[in-house]
Amino acid sequence: MDGNMRTRRMVILPVLLAVALLTMACGVCPLATGFRPPEVQEIERVVTRVVEVIATPTPPSSPATGSPTPTSPSVIDIVIQPGADVETEILNAVYRKVNPSVVNITTDLGQGSGFVWDDKGHIVTNDHVVQGAAEVYVTFDDGMQIPAQVIGEDPDSDLAVVKVDAELHELRPVELGDVDDVEVGDRAIAIGNPFGLQGTLTQGIISAKGRSIPALTNFAIPEALQTDAAINPGNSGGPLLDAEGRVIGVNAQIETGSSFVRANAGIGFAIPVNIAKRVVPALIETGHYDHPYLGISMQAYSPSLWKLLGLDPDLRGVYVLSVVSGGPADQAGIRAGTRDTGKYLPGPTGPEPLYAGGDVIVAIGDRPVRDNADLLIYLFRYASPGDVVDLKVVRNGREMVIPVKLGVRPRR
């Protein structure tokens, strides 16, 4: 009998015993009656995940680059005594599973968090944690500190990859989740190093999905997760987890409610793991990620804006404010407005004049566009430079489809 089989048997037996003890403690046998109290259902769900994790095969390859997509070799070893608190036991189990994968990242400029991506020494963090750093060190949960090298950065998604010598420490890759499986109200667990306090766990819920948060450039990051799990300075780059210990986001930003005190105010944001799944393999392979690029600035529908522009109030989409000269949209014939309204909109460098007569983008491919985020989500999730996408636009009250060959977003 090999070591893996022994491990399976050692873990599964205590788990099954735990379920049996819990059902006896609840005074009901679910197998006999068909009734499962909520607490039993919760344990059964997690136990199912335990068995799935134990039986996880070799990690599949990323469709984008062929690099291994990480899955967790860890096991949630749950032993629940009769009368024990289910929520506490789940949090304990998630911490045991994931904390060995979470690291403290210190640089000559500051510190943050990160997590082990694969067994080759690649560790994911925020770009703002390591940007401009001359020296980077990774500290594991057992206190061992190892020098690291920044091998890839993407300021447009605020993600970076650092690499350590895989021979110097046991590496336990995280298991990745999917934001499409996440619902508002789901449990959210953060593990990181707030204010340098290594191995700190906090929990809350997913407060909202689909937020757009600023990147380190003039672009935005779509589909961010909002959570009330306490996230503070030092948590940046650490994982946001679901109840099974799967990474669903990379903690990145907080709303403090004050320009003087940088501390948690119950609103934190995490970069969605689905973006990391696309960006990180490219950072490992090439050191950078090429974002698809349209070359427009845009503004989503609002009644007051549409009134100023003289547009149909029932029309929904994004208005093309400007088109980058020579860019993909410009070459395809997408039009911005030319008639001066005498009004101004806030821009990245100050107020910008508003011109009427531009195109309204109402769909990209087969997906409707209702706001800026819809367009960004499509580009982040489904498109690559060189792809030809169909933009459905309304121009002077007439609908038309314009093919656009996407370019590469300029790097700053």
Sign of CA dihedral 146, 152, 156, 159: negative
266, 289, 312 - which closes a domain:
289
- 365: exposed, middle or buried (C-beta count within 10 Å: 0-12, 13-18, 19+)? middle
Q: Does 211 share its domain with 82?
A: no
**What three-state secondary structure class fits 188?**
strand
Q: What is the CATH number of the domain that holds 230?
A: 2.40.10.120
122 with 218, same domain: the answer is yes
* pLDDT-wise least confident of 64-68, 187-191, 352-356: 64-68
Phi, psi of 130 (to 5 degrees): -115, -5
Q: How many CA atoms lie within 13 A of 99 on its CB side?
A: 15
Beta strand 296-300 pairing with 318-323:
antiparallel
Whether the pLDDT of residue 39 is over 90: the answer is no
DSSP for 102-123? EEEEEESS-EEEEEE-STTSEE
Inter-residue contact 128 to 158 (CB < 8 Å): yes
Confidence of residue 266 (pLDDT cuts 50, 70, 90): confident
Shared domain check, 81 and 59 = yes
Whether 166 shows a pLDDT value over 70: the answer reads yes
Q: Which amino acid is at 338?
A: T
Element (H, E) at 170: none
pLDDT of amino acid 35: 44
Which pLDDT band holds residue 45 (cuts at 50, 70, 90)?
low
Same domain, 127 and 60: no
Is residue 185 within 8 A of residue 206, CB to CB? The reply is yes
Q: What is the mean pLDDT of residues 138-164?
A: 97
Least confidently predicted of 84-93, 190-199, 328-337, 371-380: 84-93
What's 266's DSSP letter?
A: S
Say whether both 209 and 184 belong to one domain.
yes
Name the domain boundary from 82, 99, 116. Answer: 99
Are residues 43 and 95 located together in one domain of the fold?
A: yes
216 or 264: which carries more pLDDT confidence? 216
d(CA 96, CA 201): 11
Range of the domain at 219: 65-70+101-289
Which 3 state secondary structure label does DSSP give 283? Answer: helix
Tell me: pLDDT of 87 over 60: yes
Spatial distance between the Cα atoms of 200 and 361, rounded to a whole number of angstroms: 45
177 and 317 share one domain: no
pLDDT at residue 66 is higher than 60: no
pLDDT-derived band of residue 158, with 50, 70 and 90 as boundaries?
Answer: very high
Percent of the chain exceeding pLDDT 90 equals: 72
Domain containing 296 — which CATH number? Answer: 2.30.42.10
Instruction: For residues 265 and 317, state if they share a domain.
Output: no
Work out the pLDDT band at 201, boundaries 50, 70, 90: very high
Cα separation of 179 and 49, whole Å? 18
**Number of structural domains in the chain:** 3
List b or e across 249-276, with b for residues whose CB sees 16 or more CB atoms inside 10 angstroms.
bbbbbbeeeeeeeeebeebbbbbbbbbb
Band of residue 84 on the pLDDT scale cut at 50, 70, 90: confident
Element (H, E) at 224: strand 220-227
Q: In this structure, are 227 and 362 located in the same domain? A: no
Enzyme catalytic residues: 128, 158, 236
Between CA 313 and CA 299 the distance in angstroms is 15
Do 201 and 118 belong together in one domain?
A: yes
> What average pLDDT does the segment 69-91 reach?
67
Mean pLDDT, rounded, for 220-232: 95
Report yes or no on whether pTM surpasses 0.95. no
Where does a domain end: 227, 254, 289? Answer: 289
Q: Are residues 278 and 311 in the same domain?
A: no
Q: Are residues 158 and 245 in the same domain?
A: yes
